[in-house]
């Protein structure tokens, strides 16, 4: 299938139009027209090779919403015309213990990422959702429930499931005391989802200037981490803290806020952190943990939950040719809270 998208050709290059071929449908494949694609901070890191493993040309995008335009002969879960979504992974081994548990994101034999990866069968490069079309095996295509605004659903496929999964893993519900570090693309979803689950939610920020935003999102309060007296008063008062901060930072300020047997879970920073002190961990039997996205079943559960609760990200819609300006703004946190690309703005592929 001939299609078009936007790609980075090198770490120091701007994203630009890129025509390429999607594979012919296998019996278990779904082809979709991409309607909307969210912009994740990961897209920026990958395009610029910040983590050292980018392959070029690189078509980013793993927050994808579209409509089915064709299905393989063996497909049973989706039909032409269905509203569907694809997240961060598009394949796994399907036979290890984690895949059998519905934890494909933890596949023992590694997952296939939606972009900047290699197809498990052919080895061809995977290209993401900054494109007109996508072809994915049906097990990794999700159903968009009726009632969800398609234009605002895309960020749920990364920011939504990345924060929903630890909330479910650590059994957050009515009466749970949840702290959220950072109020960006991930943090604002953590607040909305924790509130939806019935938790008492506190946003943690270095200053009070985000208090109005935190309260508008449904949080019960804002805790200023630079206020020593307020932080001392808040010690041992949280069951779970979700750390969405995407850059290197110091956890020592926050770990004492956990109650006994409670957890601070990292979902933002990938890479080194400031050295943590073991004192509050040992003395309070506290934990620092990490969490990636959820599995396919949990992601579908999250979408259904958001439809029931009318939980959607706060989005700014852009055209495809605004992507480089959006990357600049994303780097300086100048968005509230997720960019979404309207793929109707992408011209059709050039004629052969």
Q: What is the DSSP letter of 104?
A: G
Confidence grade of residue 351 (pLDDT, cut at 50, 70, 90): low
Angle between helices 296-309 and 159-169 (to 10 degrees): 100
Q: Name the class of domain 2-158+313-345.
A: alpha beta
Q: For the segment 38-94, what is each residue's pLDDT rounded down to a tens digit?
A: 999 999 999 999 999 999 999 999 999 999 999 999 999 999 999 999 999 999 999
- Helix, strand, coil percentages (3-state) for the chain, rounded to 5, are 30, 25, 45
- How far is 228 from 210, CA to CA, in rounded Å? 18
- How far is 62 from 43, CA to CA, in rounded Å? 8
Mention every residue, 6+ apart, whose C-beta is less than 8 A from residue 9: 16, 18, 56, 57
Q: For the segment 303-331, what is each residue's pLDDT rounded down to a tens digit?
A: 999 999 999 999 999 999 999 999 999 99
Backbone torsion region of residue 123, taken as left when φ is above 0, otherwise alpha when ψ lies between -120 and 50, otherwise beta: left
pLDDT at 246: 87
Residue 9 · residue 27 · CB < 8 Å: no
CATH architecture for segment(s) 160-290: 3-Layer(aba) Sandwich (3.40)
- How far is 239 from 133, CA to CA, in rounded Å? 43
- How far is 266 from 235, CA to CA, in rounded Å? 19
Confidence grade of residue 270 (pLDDT, cut at 50, 70, 90): confident
Sign of dihedral through CA atoms 152, 155, 159, 162?
positive
- pLDDT over 70 at 352, yes or no: no
pTM equals 0.94
- Domain map (residue ranges) of the chain: 2-158+313-345, 160-290
Q: What percent of the chain has pLDDT over 70?
A: 99
Per-residue pLDDT averaged across 108-136, rounded?
97
H or E, element range at 266: strand 258-266
pLDDT at 349: 76
């Amino acid at each position: 299938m001939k299609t078009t998208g936007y790609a980075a050709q090198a770490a120091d290059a701007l994203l630009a139009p890129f025509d390429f071929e999607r594979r012919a449908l296998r019996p278990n494949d779904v082809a979709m027209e991409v309607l909307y694609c969210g912009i994740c901070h990961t897209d920026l890191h990958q395009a610029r090779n910040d983590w050292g493993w980018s392959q070029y040309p690189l078509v980013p995008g793993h927050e994808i919403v579209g409509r089915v335009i064709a299905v393989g002969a063996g497909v049973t879960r989706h039909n032409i015309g269905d509203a569907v979504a694809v997240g961060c992974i598009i394949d796994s081994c399907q036979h290890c213990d984690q895949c059998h548990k519905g934890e494909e994101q933890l596949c023992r034999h590694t997952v296939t990422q939606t972009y900047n990866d290699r197809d498990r069968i052919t080895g061809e490069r995977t290209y993401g959702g900054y494109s007109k079309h996508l072809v994915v095996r049906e097990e990794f295509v999700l159903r968009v429930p009726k009632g969800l605004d398609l234009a605002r659903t895309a960020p749920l496929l990364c920011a939504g499931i990345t924060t929903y999964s630890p909330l479910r893993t650590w059994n957050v519900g009515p009466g749970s005391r949840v702290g959220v570090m950072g109020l960006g693309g991930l943090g604002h979803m953590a607040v909305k989802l924790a509130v939806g689950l019935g938790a008492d939610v506190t946003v943690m920020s270095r200053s009070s200037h985000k208090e109005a935003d935190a309260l508008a999102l449904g949080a019960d309060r804002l805790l200023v981490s630079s206020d020593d007296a307020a932080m001392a008063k808040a010690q041992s008062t949280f069951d779970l803290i979700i750390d969405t901060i995407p850059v290197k930072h110091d956890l020592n300020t926050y770990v004492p806020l956990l109650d006994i047997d409670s957890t601070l879970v990292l979902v933002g920073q990938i890479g080194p952190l400031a050295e943590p002190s073991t004192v509050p961990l040992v003395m309070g039997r506290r934990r620092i943990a990490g969490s990636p996205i959820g599995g396919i079943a949990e992601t579908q559960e999250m979408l259904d939950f958001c439809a029931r609760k009318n939980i959607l990200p706060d989005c700014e819609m852009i055209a495809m040719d605004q992507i480089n300006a959006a990357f600049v703004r994303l780097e300086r946190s100048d968005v509230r809270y997720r960019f979404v690309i309207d793929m109707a703005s992408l011209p059709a592929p050039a004629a052969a």
